[in-house]
Amino acid sequence: MYVVNDVVVWSDGMAIPMRISGTATTVSSDASGNILPTTALTGPLSPGKYDIIVDLNGNGVYDAGIDALDDNDIEVTGGFFVIPEIPLGTIMAAMGMFVAFIGYANYKRNREELQQQKNRS
């Protein structure tokens, strides 16, 4: 099994690119030929697009119709992708503070308007 950087166009007979370091090299099956759950990654990957290929005949070459390939070519992206980490907690906290500030400013303005109306009466 190979996890490789995204290949835009896979073609029959092309050499399979070098596997990403820290990814699984073998996949096992049971007596019925069912592939058992396999840990494909042992560490974090850099943000980017990746393809997964299972070289069923073990020749290091992509053989269309023989090897299993997940390159998600319908969406023109990799079989999977890793996005950069976003400090979501920080963004959510900042948005919460901004909403609270706007709410407080509106409350204060409405309170001042009510006070002015009372003073006129």
| Angstrom distance (rounded) from CA 60 to CA 15 | 6
Q: Model-level pTM? A: 0.62
| Class of residue 3 by CB neighbours under 10 A (exposed 0-12, middle 13-18, buried 19+) | buried
pLDDT band at 23 (very low <50, low <70, confident <90, very high): confident
d(CA 29, CA 37): 9
pLDDT digits (tens, 9 = 90+) for 55-111: 888 899 999 989 888 876 655 556 788 877 767 677 777 778 878 888 878 888 888
DSSP string, 53-65: EE-TT-SSB--TT
